[in-house]
Amino acid sequence: MSVTLKVNGKSHTVDVDASTPLLYILRNDLGLQGPRFGCGLGQCGACTVIMNGVATRSCIVPASAAKGEITTLEGLARNGELHPLQRAWIDEQVPQCGFCQNGQIMTAKALLDRNPKPNDAQIREGMKGVLCRCMTYYRIQAAIKRAVKTIAAKGGAA
């Protein structure tokens, strides 16, 4: 079937089977490399994109259900300027291998969009299902807290 997707502000039409997971369309048809395959089961978060404002695991979204605005890691920067979360990730030197960080950043973005001032417990809860096997969790949480401050200082706009 022919599917039209709006990804990072641009429209794309691809011809794929309706059951094709969104992840493979983003990676293999659109050439994006932010969302990644980690489990294909909705359990790890590596494939996270933001679909209509919601952090969504693209490995379990079939093409037929991929609707509306999709943002990937590549689409977070604005006018060449990194999103405050990405900046904070660099300032806190978060990644080890970095493979999971797409899911961490995208999930944190959706979290802060919903709740710009999460407390520690809300960060833990909101990020709980995004796994990192290099165990960079401690710095991820520090980076989220740092980004919260930058965003607040900018008047709340990320």
Partner 1 sequence: MTPVAGIPKHVEATLSRRNLLKSAGMLVVSFAGFDPGEANGQAPAGPYPEVDFHQLDSWIVIHEDSSATFYVGKTDCGQGTGTSFRQLMADELDVAYEKTTCIMGSTDITVDQGGSGGSTAMERDSWPMRRVAAEARRVLLEMGSQRLGAPVDQLAVSAGVITVKGAPSKNVTYGQLIGGRKFNVTLTGSNINATNGRALVKPVQELKNTGLSPQRYDIPAKVDGSLKWAVDMRLPGMVHARNVKPPFAGAKLVSVDESSVRKMPGFVKIVTKGNYVAVVCEREEQAINTAKALKLNWEKPATAPFPSSEDLFRYMREVKPTSSSRSVVVGDPESAFTNAPKLIEADYDVPFQGHTAISPAHALADPSNGQMTIYSNDMKSYGMRRGVADFLGMPREQVRVVWMEGPQGFGRTAADDAGCEAAYLAKEIGRPVRVQWMRDEETAWDTKAPAFAVKLKGALDAAGNLLALDYDARSADYNHVGYNEPDTVLIAQLMGIRPAKPASGSASMPSEMYAIPHRRMATHVVSLPLVWETPLRTGNLRDPNGPQSTFASESFIDELAAAANADPFEFRMKLLTASSAEDGGFRRARSIAALKAVADAYGWDRRSSPKPRGTGDTLTGRGIAYAFRGQTVVAEIAEVEVNVRTGRVWVKRLVAAHDCGLVVNPESLRHTVECAMLHSLSRALHEEVQFDGEKVTSVDWNSHPTLTHADVPGEVRVVLVNGDPNPNRPDLPPYGAGEAACKPMLAAIGNAIYDATGVRLRRIPFRANRVLAALKTSQA
Q: Residue numbers of the site for partner 1 (CB under 8 A)?
A: 16-17, 19-21, 24, 27-28, 31-34, 36-41, 43-44, 46, 72-74, 76-77, 82, 86, 89-90, 93-102, 105, 123-125, 127-141
Token reading at 23: 């992840």
Q: Min. distance of Cβ 90 from partner 1 in angstroms?
A: 6
Is residue 38 within the footprint of ligand FES (CB under 6 A)? yes
Number of residues lying near ligand FES (CB under 6 A)? 23
Is residue 82 within the footprint of ligand FES (CB under 6 A)? no
Say if strands 48-51 and 54-57 run parallel, antiparallel, or are unpaired.
antiparallel
The Cα 93–Cα 103 span in angstroms is 16
Q: Which is nearer to partner 1, 143 or 155 (CB)?
A: 143
108: partner contacted, choices partner 1, ligand FES, none (Cβ within 5-8 A by kind): none
Q: Which is nearer to partner 1, 27 or 146 (CB)?
A: 27
Of 110, 102, 108, the closest CA to residue 142 belongs to 108
Residue type, 130: V
Binding residue for ligand FES, selected from 20, 56, 71, 136, defined by CB under 6 A? 136
Say if strands 2-7 and 10-15 run parallel, antiparallel, or are unpaired.
antiparallel
Burial 65-100 (b: 16+ CB within 10 A, else e): ebeeebbbbbbbeeeeeebbbbbbbeebebbeeeeb
Residue ranges binding ligand FES (CB under 6 A): 37-40, 42-47, 57, 59, 95-101, 132-134, 136
